[in-house]
Amino acid sequence: MKEIKISIAGASGITGIELLKILDRHEYSTIITVLSRTFEDKKISSVFQNTLNLNKNKNIFFKNFFSKSDIKDSDLIFLCLPPGKSMEYVKYLMENDYKGKIIDLGSDFRLKKPEVYEEWYKDRHILKDMLPRFVYGLPELNKKEIKNADYVANPGCYPTSVILALAPLLNLKYLEFDSITIDSKSGVSGAGRKLKDDYLFLNISENFFAYSPVKHRHIPEIEQELKNISESVNKISFTPHLLPINRGIFTSIYVGGTNIGEIIDAEDKIRAFYEDFYKNETFIKFINNDVPKISNVSGTNSAHIGFMADYRTSIIKIFSAIDNILKGASGQAVQNMNLMFGLDEEEGLNMLGNYN
């Protein structure tokens, strides 16, 4: 396998920094360009000398934008950008005859209906014709499509934790779901590096609260992908919370339905189905009727999933834990890259974790 020449837009944000760490130990990657308007003309090692211990990429300088030669030489471009910005970069790349692959870690190409994007993000989508060309990059569900893709929309962190947890259950097509209630909790890194009162140490430390409890932007993404699995899914109830920790997501899901009793009566069969569904997936660990913990996935590209049936209330309870920056962002992006270039899915992602 020849080297993959990579460029990164938004390389100084939280997901960009994590991407740099992974790619620095990735055998086949060579980073040729990193963009950051904040740190233009500064060397990576000087900007993040205490937090980013790189080897082969430490002497790269941040640039303000892609040059024509960057576009010509790049085999793959990662976009680690806020809503509305990725489409501007993709437009520029297409206008300059870019021939390589793109992985967008932002939100601009996840939703397949432009009117849904515009409703939830309050912004006009300028590349509607490109939306069908981006594959939704959840490797455990869309592996074949990702392998053949030139453009991948990396899933959001919350949707990753939710969809992976629900996918096996929703694949039981005879079930009908009356309600799917999702309660998610994320570390503060999920908000990125932007400065906001809620994210200041004095406000987040020893604190805990819900945010965007009615219309969080990840709702249409979750609904879109769940409906692709099961037509019985209509609308979900989703409430995110902010934890006073740096990283990680813990999601609790409560599922009710008209024939959910059939599932509860067949609890052992469901557990067996979960195990079989993910038996060949390196990064998914089904822990049966145990409850996953953020500490067990922090610093890894893994997702841990637990399943329980509440006989008293006839509710299915599903729990998942991921690292929001890795499996919820940069780690999953590299997992997608590996699939797109025919590499071992684990390349660059063999991480021991923060608490192991």
Q: Report the C-alpha gap between 158 and 182 in whole angstroms.
A: 10
- List alpha helices for 127-206, DSSP H: 139-147, 157-170, 201-204
Do the strands 237-242 and 179-186 form a parallel or antiparallel pair, or are they unpaired? Answer: parallel
Q: What is the pLDDT of residue 239?
A: 97
Closest CA to 178 of 313, 347, 78: 313
Q: Phi and psi of 167, rounded to 5°?
A: -55, -45
Q: What is the pLDDT of residue 265?
A: 65
Q: What is the pLDDT of residue 271?
A: 85
Q: What is the pLDDT of residue 48?
A: 79
Q: What is the pLDDT of residue 310?
A: 83
Q: What is the pLDDT of residue 174?
A: 72
Q: What is the pLDDT of residue 193?
A: 52
Helix (H, G, I), strand (E, B) or coil at 51: coil
DSSP letter at 135?
E
Q: Report the C-alpha gap between 65 and 74 in whole angstroms.
A: 14
Q: Report the C-alpha gap between 243 and 184 in whole angstroms.
A: 10
Catalytic residues: 157
Name the amino acid, one letter, at 255: V
Q: What is the pLDDT of residue 343?
A: 97
Q: Report the C-alpha gap between 136 and 149 in whole angstroms.
A: 10
Q: What is the pLDDT of residue 268?
A: 79
Q: What is the pLDDT of residue 58?
A: 76
C-alpha distance across the termini of the chain, in Å:
32
Q: What is the pLDDT along the chain (356 residues), one digit of tens a residue?
A: 689 999 999 999 999 999 999 999 999 999 999 999 999 999 988 887 766 777 788 789 999 999 999 999 999 999 999 999 999 999 999 999 999 999 999 999 999 999 999 999 999 999 999 999 999 999 999 999 999 999 999 999 999 999 999 999 999 877 777 889 999 999 987 555 555 666 566 576 778 889 999 999 999 999 999 999 998 888 999 999 999 998 999 999 999 876 666 666 667 778 888 999 999 999 999 998 889 999 999 999 999 999 988 878 888 899 999 999 999 999 999 999 999 999 999 999 998 777 64
Q: What is the pLDDT of residue 54?
A: 78
Q: What is the pLDDT of residue 352?
A: 76
Q: What is the pLDDT of residue 312?
A: 81
Q: What is the pLDDT of residue 1?
A: 66
Domains of the chain: 4-155+328-340 (3.40.50.720), 158-324 (3.30.360.10)
